[in-house]
Amino acid sequence: MSALEIPYVYTPREDTGLTNAKLGIWLFLASEVMLFGALFSTYIVLRVGAPVWPRGASILNVPLATLNTVILISSSVTMVMAWAELARGQFKRHKLYLALTILLSFGFLIVKYVEYSTKFHHHLFPSKSTFLAIYFTLTGLHGLHVLGGIVVNTYFLGPGAKMWKTEPQRFMGRIEVAGLYWHFVDLVWIFLFPVLYLL
């Protein structure tokens, strides 16, 4: 049994201009769009059907959420910088930016934790109202996505980084793919924030 060479792992296929991983991640993100789309759709149905719908600000903590928005946007920038540094061969600076991204993601989760625990402290649970139910579901699912991003990025900062020495091209592709996922997580939050907190 010899080594199996799967084509277009390193270099893009000529007619599509894409590597396998690049196409794969976009398809995955397409399915994620449908996942969050269904939940947003649920939000609209619940809101339209409700006799009264609370203003997010009256229940939720807008300053904390604004802080989280800033954190997540910054982490998106550090992520794309991590990729750009790799593109110009600055591996050390790449690592710095990637580490910063992970740090910011943890910051996001910590703020989220503070938010959640205050809610629980005030006995605001998903069972209280459909507004809180959709709030916890959407932010919870988004939080899981953040966690997933942390796992992936930590892998590329630690054991996964070895590949830079052996196959730099492929490693860069991986960072790009991880970045695409991370920006998508940011993108979802950009919509969650006004929908849940401001409206």
Partner 1 sequence: MSSGHHEHSEQQEHHAEPGFWQKYVFSTDHKVIGLQYGFTALCFLFFGFLLMLLMRWQLAFPGQALPVIGKFFSDSSMPGGIMLPEFYNSLGAMHGTIMVFLGVVPLAVGAFGNYVMPLQIGAVDMAFPKINMASYWAFFVGGVVMLVSFFVPGGAANSGWTSYPPLAELATTGQTLWLLGMVFLITSSLLGSVNFIVTIIQLRVKGLSFMRLPFFVWAQFVTAFLLLLAFPPLEAAGVLQLMDRLAGSSFFLPSGLVVSGQLMHNSGGGTPILWQHLFWFLAHPEVYVLILPALGIVAEIIANNTRKPLWGYKSMVYSLIFLGFMSFIVWAHHMFMTGMGTVINAFFQTTTMIISVPSVIVLSCLFLSLWGGSIRFNTPMLFALAFLPMFGIGGLTGLPLGLTTTDLHLHDTYYVIGHFHYVVAPGTIFALFAGIYYWFPKATGRKMNEVLGKLHFIGSFIFINGVFMPMFIQGLAGVSRRLFDGGASYYHAGPVLKLNVMMSVSAWCLALAQLPFIINFFYSMFAGEKVTSDNPWQSTTLEWATPTPPPHGNFTFTPEVVRGPYEYSVPGESSDFLPQYQPVKG
Partner 2 sequence: MHQEHSAEEVQKHVRTYLVVFVMLLALTFVTVAISRLHLGVFQSIVLALIIACIKGSLVALFFMHLISEKKLIYGALALTVAFFIGLMFLPVGQMITAVAL
Interface with partner 1 by CB under 8 A: which residues?
1-9, 13, 16, 18, 20-21, 23-25, 27-28, 30-32, 34-39, 41-42, 45-46, 49-50, 125-130, 132-134, 136-137, 141, 148, 152, 155-156, 160, 163, 170, 174, 177-178, 181
Closer CB to partner 2, 140 or 194, in the complex: 194
Q: Taking Cα atoms as reference points, which of 175, 180, 198, 159 lies closest to residue 59?
A: 198
Look-up of token digits 């991983």? 21
Closer CB to partner 2, 45 or 110, in the complex: 45
Could you write out the DSSP letters of every residue in 128-194? T-HHHHHHHHHHHHHHHHHHHHHHHHHHHHTGGGGHHHH-HHHHHHHHHHHHHHHHHHHHHHHHHII
First to last CA, the chain: 60
Measured in whole angstroms, how far is the alpha carbon of residue 36 from the centre of its chain? Answer: 12
- Per-residue binding letters, 67-96, with partner 2 (x by CB under 8 A): --xx--xx-xx-xxx--x--xx--------
Part of the chain binding partner 2 (CB under 8 A), chosen from 1-9, 37-45, 106-114, 155-163: 37-45
d(CA 116, CA 66): 15
Q: Copy the structure tokens of residue 150.
A: 């942390």
The percent of the chain in helix, strand and coil, each rounded to the nearest 5, is 80, 0, 20
Q: Does 4 bind partner 2 (CB under 8 A)?
A: no
Q: Does 103 bind partner 2 (CB under 8 A)?
A: no
Residues that bind partner 2 (CB under 8 A): 12, 16-18, 22-23, 26-27, 30, 33-34, 37-38, 40-41, 44-45, 48-49, 57, 62, 66, 69-70, 73-74, 76-77, 79-81, 84, 87-88, 169, 172-173, 179-180, 183-184, 186-187, 190-191, 193-195, 198-199
